[in-house]
Amino acid sequence: MNGNIIGFLRVSFPFLLTIGLWRLSVPFWNPGGILAIVPIFFCTFVRPVKCFGIFSVFMCLCLDYKFETVCFWVAMYCLAYAINGFQSIIDMTRMDKNGIGAFMVFLGLAILFQLFTNLSLTTFVRGVWMFIFVGALYMPITLLIQRVQND
């Protein structure tokens, strides 16, 4: 009985973590729940979790809701999913350091695109802050996911 509960928690941890990070949105530290993009990216592309793709699209829609954008994060996710389809060129599952390089490219392009849609000093500073903050928390979050899943 105890093994079943622990097994369930190990399997459900990435899902619960994603929802938790999205819900813990604070204007300065986690604007729009942006930290939820870390488990979305990691559990879809770097260390794929069964049935996480559908959940990721739903959570990207939730990010769009909090950011008040129209399918921006869904489009970025689908673009990354399409690029990941070219696994003869790019194989994120075999990348070093939990795929932080691919994640930083993904996040950097997303923030750069948002920056050019509304170019101002405030948007630039917010974009730089989000890039640094989410990039700094990528490794701790991914290591936590791996530790819980015993990967």
* CA–CA distances in Å: residue 100 to residues 25, 27, 31, 45, 136: 22, 24, 21, 11, 10
CA 127 to chain centre: 16
Mention every residue, 6+ apart, whose C-beta is less than 8 A from residue 70. Answer: 64
Give 126-133 contacts, CB < 8 A, sequence gap 24+. 126/31, 130/31, 130/34, 131/104, 131/107, 133/29
Q: C-alpha dihedral over 108, 33, 46, 2, to 10 degrees?
A: 170
Provide the residue-wise pLDDT of the chain in tens; the chain has 151 residues. Answer: 566 888 888 889 999 999 999 999 888 888 889 999 999 999 999 999 999 999 999 999 999 999 888 899 999 999 998 888 776 666 677 777 888 989 999 999 999 998 888 889 998 999 999 999 999 999 999 999 999 987 5
Residue 95: burial class (beta carbons within 10 Å; 0-12, 13-18, 19+): middle
Distance CA 18, CA 22 (A): 6
Contact 71, 57 (CB under 8 A): no
| Nearest-angstrom CA–CA distance, 111 and 73 | 11
